[in-house]
Structure 1
Amino acid sequence: MQLIELRNHLDTLLDAQRLKDYCPNGLQVEGRPEVLRVLCGVTASQALLDHAVAGGYDAVFVHHGLFWRGDDGRVTGFRRQRLRALLANDINLFAYHLPLDVHPELGNNAQLARLMGWEGEGRFADQDLGWIGRPTGAVASGEEMALALADKLGRMPLLVGDGGRLVRRIAWCTGGAQGYFEQAILAGADLYVSGEISEQTVHLARETGVPYIAAGHHATERYGARAIAAYLKRELGLEAEFLDLDNPV
């Protein structure tokens, strides 16, 4: 597949220009003009890029790319090493941040809901990034929801607040979305799940009675890139693989 075709397809699929973001979405580093093999992962880390080089991949697709607003723009140190791996081996780098979070089928929020058996019924927060809905099956407590997340994600999340509260309405937003906790409460959530937690999150959970689960940034955002790999194989006939590199958060 020609690079320009893949770029246009992904930009359209993920509606790359719709959201205000703090990084460039789409093709971040241009490599060879034909793409047959794609390696997908969460972050454009050196380990992922080294795997792409060793495996002879034509492109890398990630959620967290190389360039962020406010970064030091100098190409030195680890930035030089990452760019060198791509440029020296003519490998393309695609990165989609918020567009991959919000996609209604392939996005991180949609995929986490599918994994956990949550039914999304609405959106909240800035740019409708957060999802709210209900868990399917029997009504469970916050503590039971934390155990279910531990089982599916392979690591124990951090639960703060009233773990005994029954969860009939659940809100979630993967990654570093603890700043949307108050908006989740106002939207009617009995529990909010995100990836990270801040000091003030604990006080808000205790004072409002709505428990909060920090399930891990990487842990909650593995599934969008994995879904993209499956899509590229199924819909575009490309050879695509998802590589889940160990990350404890």
Structure 2
Amino acid sequence: MSQKSVSRTEMATYLAGALNITQFRDYCPNGLQVEGRHEISRLVTGVTASQALLEAALESGADAILVHHGYFWRGEDARVIGTKHKRLKLLLAHDINLFAYHLPLDSHPLYGNNAQLAQQLGLTPNGRFGDDNLGWLGNVSDAAIRTVGDLAKVIEHQLKRVPVLIGDPDQALARVAWCTGAAQNLLSDAIAAAGVYISDEISEPTVHLARESGVAYLAAGHHATERYGVQALGKHLAEHFGLAYQFIDIDNPV
């Protein structure tokens, strides 16, 4: 396939429709966050628009960067100083577009983080729960994965990190609930629908709620579980528009 290009406007319009961005009450603007050059022929994706990702994308010759965690979060300091100034200066000085999609990329049934995590862990989705149906429900496809401890080993092998497990590793697997992101607050909703809940982060109250409810909790890592949506979406865009494409993984232990 010969390399082609697409206008930033066409890409923004296509992504807005494909990800149904108006459906979500989000904490940040979804779409084109920083305007760069008009034509895009090389796309880079990553989890978070950190300085390290921006510099790596610049070195690779990117016209556009697409991330899950972008800028301009609700309640943040609006001043363009410090780290924010440094990041925006790099993008603007080199005319690089920044696209960011938060909840829409968690939720999408094909390219979303939850859909892609299910593929990584061998989960078969069969339902949704929680606000905006962000939480997913399903079952483990492999009959040999019989306990919570077995599932924790799958997570460790696939995501290359040891999950925090709250609960009995010998507990038999029932229905599984999962939601990528800082979604420990959805545990109370998951309790009514599943016997184990997988999310990214864990907080002090989460431990007590998991223990007292009997629902095992697996904290698998925010970055570790959200590497896959941007990759799936980036590959799709590269194929759809004929773009050069690269995923850049900036290591993050959280």
What TM-score, normalized to structure 1?
0.98
2:189 matched to which residue of 1?
A: 183
Q: How big is each residue's C-alpha offset from its partner over 1:12-39, in whole Å with a ceiling of 9 and x where there is no partner? A: 1111111100100000000100000111
Q: In 2, Cα distance between the equivalents of 1:7 and 1:227? A: 17
Q: Distance in 2 between matches of 1:66 and 1:49?
A: 13
- Point out where structure 1 has 5 or more consecutive residues left out of the alignment: none
1:53: how far off? 1.4
Offset at 1:230?
A: 1.0
Instruction: Tell whether 2:34 aligns with 1:39.
Output: no
Q: 1: distance between equivalents of 2:181 and 2:122?
A: 19
Identity level (%): 54
TM-align CA RMSD: 0.8
Distance 1:209 1:18 in 2: 33
| 2:162 partner amino acid | M
The aligned runs of 1:55-74 (5 Å cut-off) are: 55-74=60-79
Q: Which amino acid aligns with 2:237?
A: L
Looking at structure 1, the residues matched to 93 and 174 of structure 2 have their Cα atoms a distance apart, in angstroms, of 52
Structure 1 consecutive aligned stretches of length 4 or more whose deviation exceeds 4 Å: none
Q: What is the distance in 2 between the residues matched to 1:13 and 1:87?
A: 27
SS of 2:106's partner is helix
Does the 8 Å CA contact 1:162/1:206 hold for their aligned counterparts?
A: no
Q: Which residue of 1 aligns with 2:97?
A: 92
- Matched residue, 1:202: 207
- Structure with the bigger RCO (C-alpha within 8 Å, sep 6+) is 2
- How much has 1:71 moved relative to structure 2? 0.3
Show the counterpart of 1:104. 109
Map of 2:3 onto structure 1: none
Listed one character per residue, the Cα deviations across residues 148-187 of structure 1 (whole Å, up to 9, x for unaligned) are 1000000101000222211120000011100000100112
Q: 1:166 aligns to what SS in structure 2?
A: coil
Identify which of 195, 198, 206 aligns with 1:193.
198
Q: Distance in 1 between matches of 2:245 and 2:21?
A: 21
Query: 5+ unaligned residues in a row in structure 2: which ranges?
Result: 1-5
Amino acid at match of 1:237: G
State the partner residue of 1:53: 58
Structure 2 residue aligned with 1:146: 152
Distance 2:139 2:206 in 1: 22
Residue in structure 1 matched with residue 81 of structure 2 by the alignment: 76
